[in-house]
Structure 1
């Protein structure tokens, strides 16, 4: 939580970053003995990788000093002034590009036409994403946006919603999207680039696959009854992951990472990780089921039915 406050990243993004740093051997995490809810992150010591990195920076510093020795103080002052001014201009241009037109409940849609299957792709970071299946719409999809307006494209059943990436510390409203999907065709859903809050109520949708990539804060999935084997993949780290499937629906789960708490149906585990594989009671591989994979670290993972 403290790292998230200092960096402006979501807690899920910070968790994913720490997971990768720990796997690379640069840091290690340990439980706070005075507060079980806290995790202490410490730099790894005596690692060959850290020594290699230090030597790289030392060599770079020496090379920079040798390069700078070819210029007098007046020339160096000119170069520094030029870099400072060019960086300021670049930042102004980035801010201008990031300040996309604000959407106040603006609606986007595309005709269903002869489309036989759909694929929804939401790219780049978004603050809040809400997905649901809607039996009432006759279009391929309907989307409502608040905050910065994303670019939206629909071609051959592929709907792409792309937000401009906002740099750390830049002000402005956060993006929010609400997307309704036509239930008469099968859908594949991909969310990449991270999000603070994802809610998907997909009952009655013919879902053929769902993948969420990037740091998350909270994700809540309400899945429909599966047809065949339906893969669900969540990666990149998260604070709270909840996946609910219909009662009586089978599931196979693979947890690749670390979780403070893990709930699978009527089983509860604390501080689990690395490589956990489980399956629901009465699982039959020849029947329809969800194949769920959670990759990366999370504070709370709940996979249940009902």
Structure 2
């Protein structure tokens, strides 16, 4: 992986996404468990009252954004056994569902969409016949867009309000956008012939979520834009990205930015809401995360950690789990 790719942590770039498509049908709850699970976040499916069930699930993916068209028959319960790193949006077509994602259950039906933040959903009950579109977006992608919008580092859960009205306004637009993306990508759709258009539509979907639906940063987005980032902070950021895998010091960063250490620290506090060293640590952690995702178990966790300057593997694993809600080894197995 090239050093230049780490700039994507701050500045979302148009990339050619990789496409995939899978389809499943069946009646076995255990098989459905495997279909809906990931290695980091397994899901256990059961038929309520031992009644018969049936399902049809089609998935299309474009990079780190996926869409599912799923239909279910019968009463089905689902239990998520470990947190997921994805924000999940359900857009019902027919039937009812109840999601467990906090103190109060969240009811979902036609005209009422649901946003479940990363790590929030613990279970669900589907009352078939039920059909919905599901949009799955990595929390990291959402944070990259927020970082770009605020010009400061954003981490953690965006904490979306869970309810979406789908009959008018932004909710209807979101449903139409996701439906068109699914149709354009599925079955060898024509959108696959235009990866730049797909990237732009995926970005538009994320920006629509951030600008039109309430979340932790909604109020901040309504405030006047902050003053432009000063040159010395930009120079420091450029220097960090250019030497991300090298053992650079705070003094070297300040020298590259042509300011004193104190001025550099003040600039990062004001314009990035962090410190220079914490910022460097964050972009290295993001780089390690991308390497773990892309290596396909071809490299050891220790090798990837050391490549990005993490010499204490136990501390790296603990910080990684806090940042991405899973261990490095779990990411490597995906």
Instruction: Give the number of the structure whose residues are more often strand, by fraction.
Output: 1
Q: Same fold (TM over 0.5)?
A: no
Of the two, which has the highest radius of gyration? 1
Q: What TM-score do the two structures reach when normalised by structure 2? A: 0.21
More helix by share: 2
